[in-house]
């Protein structure tokens, strides 16, 4: 079933897109090609083919959670603008008061 300019006009109205008559006539066959291509994909899918989320099987794409030594704190703090008690010192952004 081919799309008509009237069908495209209805879709454009639903999408709140203003199209001229020339644009409607040009888009109708283009959208028809797209709909036929999507219908072709639906024909390929068969009941014996399970749906997948990836093109290839992936079992575990994450690295193992293993502890390892971190950078030395002194070396990291060396480039900090300010430090206090082996931590980065930053300006206070929250008030300690209970008022909201």
For the entire predicted model, the pTM comes to 0.44
The encoded tokens of residue 58 equal: 């992936």
Residue 98 scores a pLDDT above 70? no
Reported as a single tens digit per residue, the pLDDT across 42-63 is: 777 677 777 777 888 877 778 7
Reported as a single tens digit per residue, the pLDDT across 5-55 is: 999 999 999 999 999 999 999 999 999 999 999 888 777 767 777 777 788
């Amino acid at each position: 079933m081919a799309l008509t300019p009237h069908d495209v006009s209805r879709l454009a109205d639903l999408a709140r897109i203003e199209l001229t008559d020339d644009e409607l006539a040009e888009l109708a066959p283009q959208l028809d090609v797209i709909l036929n291509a999507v219908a072709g994909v639906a024909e390929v899918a068969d009941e014996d083919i399970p749906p997948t989320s990836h093109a290839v099987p992936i079992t575990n794409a994450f690295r193992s959670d293993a502890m390892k030594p971190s950078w030395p704190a002194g070396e990291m703090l060396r480039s900090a603008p300010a430090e206090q008690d082996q931590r980065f010192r930053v300006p206070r952004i929250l008030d300690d008061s209970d008022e909201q």
